[in-house]
Amino acid sequence: MAGTKGREGAPRRGLTTRDRFWLGHLQVIARGNESASEYTRRKGLSVGALYQGMRRLEERGAWTRATKSVSFAPVVVRHEPESTQAALRLRLGNGAELEWSSVPEVEWLAALVEHIAKRA
């Protein structure tokens, strides 16, 4: 019997029933618009068990995490003369705001944005 393939083309032969269970869920999540947390909550699954299953599948070569590209949006800088105002305010897509009293290094800020994008 020819093995069916996972997302990266690795054969599913040799995977346990549990591995195939988590692989199926990971494939649905990868095709959808929900985060893993939202998906597992909706399905009544443990997000921790999902990630444990994903790590096991990665170790067996049956799953590779997708990488998301990071893009930047245009920024409008406004001068706010009051010293009590934040030097930099970053508003995330979920509405959360981060503020700095001084402007951080550009490289550090880019790394932070990339890290946040990976978790989104």
pLDDT(1) > 60: no
Select the more confidently predicted residue: 22 or 77: 22
Alpha-carbon span 3 to 15, nearest angstrom = 10
Alpha-carbon dihedral sign for residues 36, 45, 53, 7 = negative
Which residues are within 8 A (CB) of 104 and not within 5 positions of it... i.e. 6 or more apart? 88
pLDDT(2) > 70: no
Q: What percent of the chain has pLDDT over 70?
A: 81
Distances 33 to 28, 40, 81, 120 between C-alpha atoms, Å: 10, 13, 41, 11
pLDDT at 7: 46
Structural domain spans, the chain: 1-66, 67-120
Compute the average pLDDT of residues 33-49.
Answer: 94
For 1-66, CATH number out of 3.30.429.10, 3.40.50.720, 1.10.10.10, 3.40.50.150 equals: 1.10.10.10
Reference 118, options 74, 69, 73; nearest CA is 69
pLDDT at 89: 85
One-letter amino acid for residue 80 of the chain: E
- The model's pLDDT over 64-97, given as tens digits with 9 standing for 90+, comes to 877 666 677 788 887 766 656 778 888 877 778 8
User: Whose structure tokens read 């508003």?
Assistant: 91
Alpha-carbon span 85 to 117, nearest angstrom = 26
